[in-house]
């Protein structure tokens, strides 16, 4: 009960701290595995849930390969609001990578989420969560993907963001190999305990 209370307090503080609509994490507060993305997109803002729409389809494929279901994990993002710019031609909002200020503003909430959940494994999806959680600005997912990194007793498994596979089809086979490594790691180190 205390865990849920602490969680709700952090969520409330994040919402009150934000001028934009917030998509906070969701899932099992006792999860052994937490997935961390970059930031919500338009569909996530609309439905107020992380990883829905196209990102959700990618996540479903990811979970199927890794043999997990959404109910047993926790899913969140570094930044809790949608980073966007206005397209000059259409006048519509389009996604952009989060800036340094947005990452600094919201990473404290991510760290608090992780302190409450205390997962055995954190799967980072892309460079933003990897750099945020390792606190190493020079680290790149292209150099460490598919390998477990131990940072201050946090086990981190870096992956390319599932959306990167959409934009770069050459990553598909590498991404699938990494998912198989992740599945093996989970079977050997998390499920057996």
| pLDDT tens digits along 58-67 | 888 889 999 9
Counting DSSP H helices and E strands in the chain, the numbers are: 8, 8
pLDDT at 189 over 70: yes
State mean pLDDT over 80-91.
94
Q: What ranges make up the beta strands (E) of the chain?
A: 26-27, 33-37, 74-77, 84-86, 93-95, 121-125, 149-151, 154-159
| pLDDT of the residue at 50 | 92
Answer whether residue 18 shows pLDDT above 70: yes
Across 75-100, average pLDDT: 94
Q: What is the DSSP letter of 153?
A: T
pLDDT digits (tens, 9 = 90+) for 36-52: 999 999 999 999 999 88
Confidence band of 56 (pLDDT split at 50, 70, 90): confident
DSSP letter assigned to residue 116: H
Residue 192 has pLDDT above 70, yes or no: no
The model's pLDDT over 129-150, given as tens digits with 9 standing for 90+, comes to 999 999 998 999 999 999 999 9
Query: d(Cα 109, Cα 70) in Å, to the nearest integer?
Result: 21
Residue corresponding to tokens 């990102």: 55
Distance set, CA 9 to CA 13, 15, 76, 92, 119 (Å): 6, 10, 16, 33, 19
pLDDT at 170: 87
Q: How far is 135 from 16, CA to CA, in rounded Å? A: 26
pTM, two decimal places: 0.94
């Amino acid at each position: 009960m205390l865990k849920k209370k602490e969680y709700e307090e952090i969520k409330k503080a994040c919402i009150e701290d934000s001028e934009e609509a917030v998509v906070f994490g969701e899932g099992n507060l006792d999860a052994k595995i937490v997935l961390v993305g970059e930031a919500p997109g338009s569909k996530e803002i609309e439905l107020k849930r992380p990883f829905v729409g196209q990102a959700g389809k990618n996540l479903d494929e990811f979970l199927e390969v890794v043999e997990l279901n959404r109910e047993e994990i926790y899913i969140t993002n570094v930044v809790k609001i949608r980073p966007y710019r206005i397209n000059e031609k259409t006048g519509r909002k389009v996604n952009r990578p989060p800036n340094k200020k947005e990452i600094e503003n919201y990473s404290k909430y991510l760290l608090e989420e992780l302190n409450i959940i205390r997962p055995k494994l954190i799967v980072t999806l892309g460079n933003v969560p990897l750099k945020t959680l390792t606190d190493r600005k020079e680290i790149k997912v292209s150099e460490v993907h598919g390998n477990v990194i131990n940072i201050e007793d946090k086990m981190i498994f870096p992956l390319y963001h599932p959306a990167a596979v959409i934009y770069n089809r050459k990553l598909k086979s590498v991404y699938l190999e990494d998912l198989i490594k992740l599945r093996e790691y989970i079977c050997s180190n998390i499920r057996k305990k």
